[in-house]
A = this chain, B = another copy of it.
Amino acid sequence: MSIRIGIMGYGNIGRAVECAAKQSDDLEVVAVFTRRDPSTVSILTPGAKVYKADDAEKMADLIDVMIMCGGSATDLPVQTPALAKTFCIVDSFDTHARIPEHFANVDSAAKAAGTLAAISVGWDPGLFSIERMYSSAILPLGKDYTFWGRGVSQGHSDAIRRVEGVLDARQYTVPVPEAVDAVRSGSNPDLTTRQKHTRECFVVAKDGADKARIEKEIKEMPNYFADYDTTVTFITMEELKRDHNGIPHGGRVIRTGATGWDNENKAIIEYSLKLDSNPEFTSSVLVAYARAVYRLNKEGKTGCVTVLDVPPAYLSPKSGEELRKTLL
């Protein structure tokens, strides 16, 4: 029998969960929950049904794992602890600074209910965290570097859209090639924010808007752009739709460390992702962890976990015996 998946929230990530689940025979999306009127929401999976978000709690018998596809700012801090009272859960909470608080809230709810919840699943936090974990444990005398991009940052694109006179925008985060090369050389450079990434903004301005003012406002925006070398390119709506329609992303985690009695030898570990679709890949990770959460909970594990707590083999539908034979 398949593991029955519920999707809470139906945006880019929710839709991509359907795509990811379709690739595995042992997973089945059975329900999508939305705050919109369900009759207006059209989903991809034949046989799955759309329900009101508020009705989710009544459906404990229908769903094995609920995948939370809301936002980290306001949705997940409330929804994940609430629904952990009823369901095993995977969420993609990605506000790094608030993870300890979110973990504690979800852990107490899930422990009381006998459910298991994996939080902060995705690629960063998520797969990148796993790589930082392994490589720092294996090379304790070393240094971690994380580069993001080239890829679209939704948050930065939104920030540009809030500038007066902007119709639409797309922001790419771009790692500085010289910085990546310096890290790979093993020289352990100290890099400032500005030295690591640049930001490329493609902006559609309203007719007659003051482009010089828009560019200045973007480049001086604190937190988002002021600390970076930022370029602003004005394009037409047609160009935006033609050339910037996708949501690609990627990045790399590099650890450079030393081995040997006198730390005389270098070792470099590099992990990189190159993704045509950021939400689709993120959802592929969420879905693999839904399998793991289901299996761990069946074995009696409850409470909150992160990717650091889940043995790799639990992500695979294959048996331990098959994995050892074919993949180890």
- Complex interface: chain B residues within 8 A of A323 (CB): 133, 308
- Which of A59-67, A158-166, A279-287 is the contact stretch? A279-287
Q: Would you give the 0/1 interface string for A260-280, flagging 1 where the beta carbon is closer than 8 Å to chain B?
A: 110101111111111111001
Given known contacts A19-B260, A265-B276, A324 and B103 CB-to-CB distance under 8 angstroms: yes
Chain A residues within CB distance 8 Å of chain B: 16, 18-20, 22-24, 44, 96, 99-100, 103, 120, 125, 127, 129-134, 136-141, 184, 259-261, 263, 265-277, 280-281, 283-285, 288, 291, 306-313, 315-317, 320-321, 323-325, 327-328
* Measured CA separation A284–B261 after assembly (Å): 12
* Measured CA separation A308–B309 after assembly (Å): 12
- For A97, give the chain B residue with the smallest CB separation: B325
* Measured CA separation A42–B9 after assembly (Å): 64
- Complex interface: chain B residues within 8 A of A313 (CB): 133, 308-309
Q: How far is the CB of A263 from chain B (nearest CB, A)?
A: 8
Contact among B24, B125, B134, B317 for A312, CB-based, below 8 A: B134
Q: How far is the CB of A182 from chain B (nearest CB, A)?
A: 15
Contact among B19, B265, B268 for A259, CB-based, below 8 A: B19
Say yes or no: B19 contacts A261, CB within 8 Å.
Answer: yes
Say yes or no: B19 contacts A325, CB within 8 Å.
Answer: no
- Complex interface: chain B residues within 8 A of A270 (CB): 270-274
* Measured CA separation A45–B16 after assembly (Å): 53
Task: Give 15 CB contacts A-B under 8 Å.
Answer: A19-B259, A19-B261, A23-B140, A129-B327, A133-B313, A133-B323, A138-B288, A265-B276, A266-B275, A267-B277, A268-B273, A269-B271, A271-B271, A308-B312, A309-B313
